[in-house]
């Protein structure tokens, strides 16, 4: 009896010491592998090395980049360049390979050609800073300004100024380094095949070194808000793009409560205001899409009442509150941190679907069938217009589309992950059935057959990647999961 209680006491002591972490092996820092992650926090990936390129003379930068590629190739290690690593499924991470980040800000506008030449690693807030000083603005970029410019090309992102296609449509030319260190200029007329493959090619063709991109005049814009039944939204949205040239930027929102998800919609259109005598105000890095404060946004998790309150605020109170006048640059210079998740056991996961406008009603019904049953908390949807893209090989908009960007809060448990996988798979199935597509930078939850159905040129893309990169130096999780 005494023996048994002593053993029990020892076991208890041992387990409490374990719980406190004192029995965990302590690996000396020098022996620890580098583990990198992306914005999902669900992609921990061991890497062999992480090279952060700092500003240096151009020939030195190129020589160092070639040195990294050669070293990785000699050991058959994959190479991946990432920028903000806000993709969510390991697209920006090389397993046991060489991760590269360009911490370099260089943006040179040229008024005569209405373009800016920009280093691949430059972030959008740095571009906006440079262009704002001369009254210009990037033609297309994402809704947040933390991302890298070459990364934007590599996912072929889109934004909410109208009437544009994805970012690639505004890139005039770029230089790309292939696996053997050769640098090739690419555009619609020079190495055009490589240009189309690399646009939305997730870094699998080579490393973009710099780009020449369209800019447009900065302007002052005033929002107009229209609340409507969700079934009326698509026609109204497309009508505003096609027949109202005064609309320069535009987005939509819908209600997200489980009981009546996607029954109401809000259309926000921005039109040009006269420039005041003192000129345009300088850009403020605040953004416009976060009228609802971060705290209210976050409080929606687990509270249908607060989801409803937020919708009332956004669709009724905000429109009444003030003019909302802002410059184009201030509207697009929105930091991701505005809606940042600080909960250690939850993570924000994005989905995005591109719908033919005439099938939008069926998309609403698919979401009403699937989303309320999900364990994940559905926090937000933003609707945008994306014009047809015939240029990129992995195009997600083979016709004009309504883009639905959806944000979920997922708990970081096996159950949370399984639920997200099933929800995504079910949504993709319904979207595919109505001729829509899904966006590739998020979680890799689509089945292979879904990926191949929605991206029918994937096999051709993979074959041409093998032509340009025969040693398969550029590999990431997107390649490993669907293309290898």
Ligand X SMILES: Cc1cc2nc3c(=O)[nH]c(=O)nc-3n(C[C@H](O)[C@H](O)[C@H](O)COP(=O)(O)OP(=O)(O)OC[C@H]3O[C@@H](n4cnc5c(N)ncnc54)[C@H](O)[C@@H]3O)c2cc1C
* Site of interaction with ligand X (CB under 6 A): 39, 80-87, 91-92, 120, 142-144, 147-148, 150-151, 154-155, 157-159, 202-203, 207-208, 336, 350, 441, 476
Strand pairing report for 49-53 and 45-47: unpaired
Give the nearer residue to ligand X in terms of CB position, either 80 or 171: 80
Give the nearer residue to ligand X in terms of CB position, either 203 or 416: 203
Distance of closest approach, residue 428 Cβ to ligand X, in angstroms = 17
Give the nearer residue to ligand X in terms of CB position, either 49 or 243: 49
Distance of closest approach, residue 432 Cβ to ligand X, in angstroms = 20
Distance of closest approach, residue 469 Cβ to ligand X, in angstroms = 12
Encoding tokens for residue 327? 């410059």
Buried/exposed code over 232-267 (b: 16+ C-beta within 10 A; e: otherwise): ebbeebbebbeeeeebbbbbbbbbbbeeebbebbbb
Give the nearer residue to ligand X in terms of CB position, either 120 or 265: 120
Strand pairing report for 346-355 and 401-411: antiparallel
Encoding tokens for residue 482? 């669907």
Give the nearer residue to ligand X in terms of CB position, either 166 or 223: 166
Buried/exposed code over 304-343 (b: 16+ C-beta within 10 A; e: otherwise): eebbbbbbebbbeebbeeeebebbbbbbbbbebeebebee
Nearest to 359 by CA among 401, 405, 407, 406: 401
Distance of closest approach, residue 468 Cβ to ligand X, in angstroms = 13
Q: In sequence order, which residues have a C-beta less than 8 Å from that of residue 37 and are 6 or more positions away?
A: 43, 44, 45, 85, 93
Give the nearer residue to ligand X in terms of CB position, either 21 or 212: 212
Strand pairing report for 49-53 and 107-110: unpaired
Distance of closest approach, residue 227 Cβ to ligand X, in angstroms = 23
Give the nearer residue to ligand X in terms of CB position, either 30 or 62: 62
Distance of closest approach, residue 334 Cβ to ligand X, in angstroms = 9
Nearest to 153 by CA among 163, 135, 164, 140: 140
Distance of closest approach, residue 183 Cβ to ligand X, in angstroms = 12
Distance of closest approach, residue 18 Cβ to ligand X, in angstroms = 36
Give the nearer residue to ligand X in terms of CB position, either 56 or 229: 56
Encoding tokens for residue 242? 């096609």
Distance of closest approach, residue 82 Cβ to ligand X, in angstroms = 4
Rg (CA), the chain: 24
- When CB distances to ligand X are compared, the closest residue is 203
Our measurement of the distance from residue 461's CA atom to the centroid of its chain's CA atoms, rounded to an integer in Å, reads 21
Give the nearer residue to ligand X in terms of CB position, either 232 or 296: 296
Distance of closest approach, residue 288 Cβ to ligand X, in angstroms = 13
Nearest to 224 by CA among 207, 241, 249, 245: 249
Distance of closest approach, residue 247 Cβ to ligand X, in angstroms = 18
DSSP 66: H
Give the nearer residue to ligand X in terms of CB position, either 134 or 192: 192
Distance of closest approach, residue 323 Cβ to ligand X, in angstroms = 24
Encoding tokens for residue 428? 């993709």
Q: In sequence order, which residues have a C-beta less than 8 Å from that of residue 219 and are 6 or more positions away?
A: 137, 248, 272, 273, 275, 280, 327, 328
Helix, strand, or coil (residue 188) = coil
Task: Check: CB of residue 327 under 8 Å from CB of residue 281.
Answer: yes
- DSSP letters along 403-467, please? EEEEEEEEESSHHHHHHHHHHHHHHHHHHHHTT-EE-TTS---S-HHHHHHH-TTHHHHHHHHHH
Give the nearer residue to ligand X in terms of CB position, either 155 or 240: 155
Helix, strand, or coil (residue 316) = helix
Distance CA 146, CA 148 (A): 7
Give the nearer residue to ligand X in terms of CB position, either 407 or 450: 407
């Amino acid at each position: 009896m005494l023996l048994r209680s002593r053993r029990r006491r020892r076991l208890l002591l041992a387990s409490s010491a374990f719980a406190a972490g004192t029995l965990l092996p302590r690996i000396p820092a020098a022996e620890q592998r580098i583990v990198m992650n992306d914005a999902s926090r669900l992609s921990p990936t061991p890497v062999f090395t992480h090279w952060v390129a700092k500003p240096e003379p151009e020939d030195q930068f190129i020589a160092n980049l070639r040195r990294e590629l050669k070293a990785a190739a000699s050991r058959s290690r994959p190479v991946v360049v990432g920028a903000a690593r806000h993709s969510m499924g390991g697209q920006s991470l090389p397993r046991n390979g060489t991760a590269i980040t360009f911490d370099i800000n260089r943006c040179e506008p040229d008024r005569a050609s209405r373009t800016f030449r920009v280093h691949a690693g430059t972030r959008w807030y740095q571009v906006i800073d440079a262009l704002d000083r001369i009254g210009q603005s990037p033609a297309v970029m994402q809704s947040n300004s933390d991302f890298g410019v070459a990364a934007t090309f590599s996912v072929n992102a889109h934004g909410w100024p109208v009437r544009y296609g994805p970012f690639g449509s505004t890139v005039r030319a770029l230089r790309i380094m292939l696996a053997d260190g050769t640098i090739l200029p690419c555009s619609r007329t020079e190495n055009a095949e490589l240009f189309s493959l690399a646009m939305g090619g997730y870094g699998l063709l080579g490393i973009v070194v710099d780009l020449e991109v369209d800019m447009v005049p900065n302007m002052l814009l005033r929002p107009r808000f229209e609340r409507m039944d969700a079934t009326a939204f698509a026609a109204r949205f497309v009508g505003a793009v096609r027949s109202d040239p005064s609309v320069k930027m535009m987005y939509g929102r819908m209600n997200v409560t489980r009981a009546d998800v996607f029954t109401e919609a809000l259309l926000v259109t921005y039109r040009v205001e006269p420039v005041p005598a003192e000129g345009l105000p300088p850009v403020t890095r605040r953004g416009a899409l976060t009228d609802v404060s971060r705290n209210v946004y976050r409080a929606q998790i687990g509270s249908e009442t607060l989801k409803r309150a937020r919708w009332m605020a956004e669709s009724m109170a905000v429109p009444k509150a003030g003019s909302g006048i802002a410059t184009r640059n201030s509207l697009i210079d929105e930091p991701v941190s505005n809606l940042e998740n600080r909960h250690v056991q939850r993570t924000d996961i994005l989905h995005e679907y591109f719908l033919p406008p005439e099938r939008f009603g069926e998309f609403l019904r698919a979401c009403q069938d699937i989303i309320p049953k999900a364990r994940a908390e559905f926090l937000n949807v933003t609707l945008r217009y994306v014009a047809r893209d015939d240029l990129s090989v992995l195009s997600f908009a083979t016709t004009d589309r309504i883009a639905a960007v959806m944000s979920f809060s997922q708990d970081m448990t096996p159950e949370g992950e399984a639920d997200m996988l099933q929800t995504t798979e079910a949504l993709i199935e319904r979207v595919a059935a109505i001729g829509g597509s899904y966006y590739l930078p998020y979680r890799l939850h689509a089945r292979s057959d879904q990926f191949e159905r929605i991206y029918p040129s994937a096999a051709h893309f993979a074959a041409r990647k093998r032509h340009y990169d025969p040693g398969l130096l550029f590999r990431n999780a997107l390649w490993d999961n669907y293309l290898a």
